[in-house]
Structure 1
Amino acid sequence: MLENAPSFLFQAKCDNITALERFRYKSEPTWMLISKGKMVSLMFGADAPKLTRLIMEELKNEQLVASGEKIRENIMEITEMTEVELTRNEEADSVTRKAKEKENAKRAKEIHDRKVEECHNILNNLHSFGVVLIFPNAREKYWEVMADTIQEAGLAVHQTEKVKLNKDAVEDMLYFCDNKLSPKNINDFSQNRVSIALLMKRSSEHLSGEIDEVVLQMVYGNSRKPPGDGKSPSQRLMPKPDNVEEEEENILIGIWAPPNNLSKALALKHLFPNLSAPYKFPEVEPSPFYVAVGYDAFKAPEVMELSEKYPGQVMAMGFFTSDIPPAAQLIAKTVKEFDERTDVPTYEEKIVIQLAKTNPDCLMAFSELGPSYMSADAEAGEIDCQYLFPQGYNVAQEEIVLVKKKTKKKGKPKPYTQEETASTAASDLTKDQSDLDHEELEEVDSEEEKVAGETLEYVEVTGADKATSPIEEEKIEE
């Protein structure tokens, strides 16, 4: 307060002030100085000396205005955003947008890589088959057009399936195709219309060439790609347009063959689900993106309260000497361990969590707690959490104790590597059966016998399934 100054300074938080709602949920300290209902100055940050100077300057200006010695300029409405705010918001939006683009690109790559891996697994087991898809509009006359062509190509129809495809299935089947189907052709599958899928095999194994190339030539002629040569099945099964100049995207096609191996794998997956089922990957939820978030250790109760409010969002947690990953040393994994520690506190301890980014409300709530550190984006979060919460970090202590007790069981051998196990097994085969210790064998508990029995039964069932598969039997005969 200046000497002889009748001015007063009041402080009000923005939490419940509608005019200041744009500052809610922001962890950065923001200071707005208001006079007579107008904003006269705005400052970001926690620079105390700078803030003190600003307050003193504005109090002095207020005195000069009151005495008529000064007229305020550049005053603004409280709800109006300053140039600094606009610039900062644009920069923040740009950072958020780029981070989101990186996350989307990473997620797309994960999906792509998994799809490629699944396709290779299907191809490794069903490589000898070819695929042809007859569109609904050509279903009535395809055999009349193709019967002789199939025979001339040295192929045979091994299996025929009536299929109903929706838009999503068609688009996924065309994922690895450069030439996509037009909306009109995709709509040809809609309204529960039936298509015909042909599973092709060679009529003789002595025929040369890859089966996929043979199928492409059979469908499209020597061009081996759509729209096909003049007398190819592709052209013959294509309805003649009413207008010669009709755009290609409005022309219905009647037949399609996968242009490459990966497309064939997806066609096998969607058109012959029973055949490809053993080689498809199970559907899994992609692992969420996450960030590392650190707080002063005294905020642990609030962190735990939010963790209960948003179950499953905190993927890992721990107490560390610092919240900067390269310098952070683990102190404890649980609140109980931290409270019971015997080390002298430094009051610089941090609680750090691995926080999923799947729930915006959860992210906002944890941001409002005022973290001392937060990963810049998901990419930085992955690096941070690899250091703070390495693989195996979340293994429960009870499980570790249980494993230790089991390894100490009398008569149990020490763990071996795969190579050592193979070597030991080979050596044991040469031993005389009478040399085995009967008493040691009796130490195997009934639970282990039960698990072993279940494993053997599973193997037998799996083998039986494979043996009774008509496709597998043909493969064996080949």
Structure 2
Amino acid sequence: MAKRGAAQQLQTEVKTDEELEKFLARPGLLILEVYSEWCGPCLGVLGTLRRIKLEIGGENLHLAICRADTITALKRFYKRSEPTWLFATGGKAVSIFYGSDAPKLVAVIIRELEKTLQNASRPTYQIGDLQPIEAEVLRIKTEAIKKAERIEHEKQEKKRIDYLNRCTDVIMENLPDIGVTVFGPQVSRDMFKKLSEPAEHLKMQCKDRKYLEVFAKDFEIINYSCKNPLSDDVIDQLDGKELLVCFWKIDEASGPITHVLSTYAHELTKERVAPPDDEINVPHPIAPIISPIKVKFEVEIEDGEVWVEEISSEEEARKLAERKAAEKSKSATHLQDESRPKDQEGAEDDDEEEASEEEEAMQAVQPAFPNMALDIDLGLDDNIVSEEEMVEEEEEPPKPLTRIKRVKIPPIWVANNRRTHAALIYVFFRSQTSGFLPPDPPPEPPHVVMAFEAFKRDDVMEVVEASKEDVPQYGFFTNDTPGEAKLITNSIYKYDKLEEPSSSDRIVLKVNKVQSYTMLSLVQFEPTYCSNNVTSGRMDALKFFPEDYKTDEEIPPDAQKKQKKKKKTQDASGVDESPKLSTETAKSIDIAAGDENTEDSPKALEGEAQTPEVQAGETLITESPTVADPSAVPTEGAPAAGDGTDTQEPPKEEINADLIEAPAVDGAAAATPAAPTDPAPME
């Protein structure tokens, strides 16, 4: 019994911070196998480690399995599916090993044990700190994630540009003589009459105009291929402002669209010359129809930012005049000093010497009692500031440095290429393209990734089948770590055929995060992983489900037969739990299933009670002898011979509603369903 007890102490289980601290206080080389609850420790190498301890290590080698879920210093190993071995001595980590390669692990143990016994100097690390190999792995992983994000961003941007190019190509083809102008916020609704005067001379017709609110995100589409876009500062000032946008039809004889609109903008912004009038007898200049406006605002100065203060011509002239005036006053003062007599200078020097002597005398009198403590109550306690208030005043963050920035907003903006005009139509006048441009495809809803243990697949798939529109994709993976998990299969039927599924297998779902209860229904199955938000959910979904990924929803033939067999068993038992089907659906099921259901068709038996229950998809047939004599009267409830009525009965709903009672025959009550046709007349 003692030997069994000793064997049980070969390995220690550590689950808390206190237990880890106590284990690290042991002497010798410590080997910590770090695991997570969902994965479990590596049992394959356990026998090898115990053998090394008994044969080589002895009391100088201690083994422990540490649960990363509940130990603070080992949180970085949480959710890792790869076996991790941490080597420590003297309370510090000295090395780390990944994987389950037993020969390599044994070699590392022997090497580290020799260094520990020889007290050889080597770098040590805190248990919670990253070792160089971990830092390198983290760097490689971070770079790979950034590269994947950059590639994905470039791919999405290319897709967006390609789509906009297709849309603008269609617009340019169908609206070859249309252009758009965007006016600044200084142009009001009432000014359109003045704006139309130059347009008439250029044979421009305003087909549509809108005074609408414009946002900075609109210019992300407008400027995607523009050669003369508005600056970012101007766009920031226009964000959320109401602007006048005009939709012009231009005569082809006037020239290219961009040239005509540029001429129109020049006519609106140039200074004009008015003819002589009653007040001024000579031609005189007048202000343009619309003018730019200047906006001045403060912006914070970022760290390391270098800028040149922008100075207008008026301010620069004013500062130059002040500088010249200061130089003149300085030169005049210098001339006065030179013209002053030397006697006065000597007198001033004497006065300065006398003043300095008086200050020295005062300083000599003040420290008369340097060691005497003075306790004088001057009644100034109200103005004393407490230490807490002083600390609060000192802790006030300094105000950020700001600088003045000036932006000049043009009164009108005209793009210099036709594609940008098509983009303006696409953004502001989409109603003009309804006849030839299809609506945009609906954007993909925000989604997250949820992973569950594979043995819960039946319960999870039951929810998935009930709301397929909210779970567009799913698959089985080796674990639930995005970017590291490997695909096992994309079908639940294929996974069911696996001979030895692993306990670490996960079923991963891409769940749309919309206003539905799908996520709430899935949470009850305790997911092992769920994306933090829709942003990380989009990245996780791209790692689990690339663009070319397709979920295999095809049902194998053997699975279909199994389902049919189960349904047939239910029919034979007389219990119908399936939903009622229409006649057409029932016929299609009969055709798909063959003639198997014909044997189960109910028959009217003489002297026995026939149940009125009819299974969906089955045909009710009543046998009646052929009547040779026309005067023969048919049995009540049976169809008349030769009346041309079909023997097929309506679905179950109609049959149950039209059931009638037949007269007793030979003392036995036989209830037969009535035919949908009218009974034959009695003779």
1:196 maps to a residue whose letter is L
TM-score, reference length from structure 1: 0.59
Q: Give me the whole-angstrom Cα distance separating, in 1, the residues matched to 2:487 and 2:127.
A: 45
| Among candidates 247, 250, 261, match of residue 215 of structure 1 | 261
Quote the residue 1:243 is aligned against: 312
SS in 1 for 2:224: coil
- Alpha carbons of structure 1 residues 331 and 184: separation in structure 2 relative to 1, 3 Å: closer
Identify the match of residue 137 of structure 1 among 163, 182, 186. Answer: 186
1:79 paired residue among 105, 108, 128: 128
Provide the rounded CA distance (Å) in 1 between the counterparts of 2:438 and 2:186. Answer: 30
**Residue 229 of structure 2 contacts residue 415 of structure 2 at CA under 8 Å; is this kept in 1?**
no
Matches within 5 A, 1:9-408: 9-62=63-116, 64=117, 70-71=119-120, 73-139=122-188, 143=192, 146-183=195-232, 185-187=234-236, 189-190=238-239, 193-202=241-250, 207=253, 209-220=255-266, 237-239=290-292, 243-244=312-313, 250-277=407-434, 279=437, 281-286=439-444, 300-301=454-455, 315-317=473-475, 333-335=491-493, 339=496, 347=500, 365=529, 378=542, 382=546, 385=548, 389=550, 393-394=552-553
1:104 and 1:30 mapped to 2: Cα distance? 34
- 1:450 is aligned to none
Alpha carbons of 1:331 and 1:136: their partners in 2 closer, same or farther (altered >3 Å)? closer
Which shifted more, 83-92 or 8-17?
8-17
Q: Please state how far the C-alpha of 1:78 moved relative to its aligned partner.
A: 0.9
Q: Is 1:167–1:187's contact at 8 Å kept on the other side of the alignment?
A: yes
Q: Which residue of 1 aligns with 2:279?
A: none
Whether the aligned pair in 2 keeps the contact of 1:184 and 1:252 (CA below 8 Å) is no
Q: CA deviation at 1:154?
A: 1.7
| Contact 1:131–1:264 (8 Å) recurs in 2 | yes
Contact 2:216–2:235 (CA<8 Å) still a contact in 1? yes
The alignment's C-alpha RMSD in Å is 5.2
CA distance in 1, matches of 2:405, 2:256: 30
Indicate the SS of the match to 1:15: coil
Distance 1:319 1:269 in 2: 43
Letter in 1 for 2:201: E
Structure 2, gaps ≥5 residues long = 1-52, 273-286, 295-310, 316-403, 479-485, 514-522, 532-538, 562-584, 593-683
Is the 8 Å Cα contact of residues 289 and 358 (structure 1) preserved in structure 2? yes
Distance 1:354-1:277 versus aligned 2 partners, 3 A rule = farther
**Aligned residue type for 1:300:** A
Measured in 1, the distance between the counterparts of 2:219 and 2:67 equals 56
Note closer, same or farther for the CA distance 1:218–1:13 as it changes in structure 2 (3 Å cut). Answer: same
- SS in structure 1 of the partner of residue 80 of structure 2: coil
Q: Which amino acid aligns with 1:259?
A: N
Asked if structure 1 preserves the Cα contact closer than 8 Å seen for 2:228 and 2:416, the reply is no
CA distance in 2, matches of 1:379, 1:214: 51
Distance 2:119 2:420 in 1: 77
Higher RCO (C-alpha 8 Å, min separation 6) = 1
Tell me the secondary structure at the aligned position of residue 285 of structure 1. coil
Retained in 2: the 8 A contact 1:163–1:194? yes
Q: Secondary structure in 1 aligned to 2:141?
A: helix
Partners of 1:185 and 1:252 within 8 A in 2: yes
TM-score (norm 2): 0.43
Q: Where does structure 1 differ by over 6 angstroms across 4 or more consecutive aligned residues?
A: 227-231, 245-249, 287-291, 303-311, 328-332, 348-355, 361-364
In the TM superposition, residue 212 of structure 1 has moved relative to its aligned partner by 4.2
The residue matched to 2:207 in structure 1 has which SS? strand
Deviations for 1:137-196, whole angstroms, at most 9, x for unmatched residues? 0336854654342122122222332222223224433333233323553355456x4322
Alpha carbons of structure 1 residues 184 and 32: separation in structure 2 relative to 1, 3 Å: closer
SS of the equivalent of 1:11 reads strand
Q: CA deviation at 1:265?
A: 2.1
Measured in 2, the distance between the counterparts of 1:75 and 1:54 equals: 16
2: CA distance, partners of 1:338 / 1:235: 76
| Partner SS for 2:66 | coil
| C-alpha distance after superposition, 1:193-216 (max 9, x if no partner) | 4322222124x66x2534344223
Paired positions, count = 362
Identity of aligned residues (%): 20
CA deviation digits over 1:390-412, x for unaligned, max 9?
8xx446789x999x969x89xxx
Q: Is the 8 A contact 2:222 2:427 kept in 1?
A: yes
Name the CA distance, whole Å, in 2 between partners of 1:79 and 1:19.
Answer: 4
Q: Which residue of 2 aligns with 1:417?
A: none
Instruction: Please give the alpha-carbon distance, in whole angstroms, between the structure 2 residues aligned to 1:266 and 1:252.
Output: 21
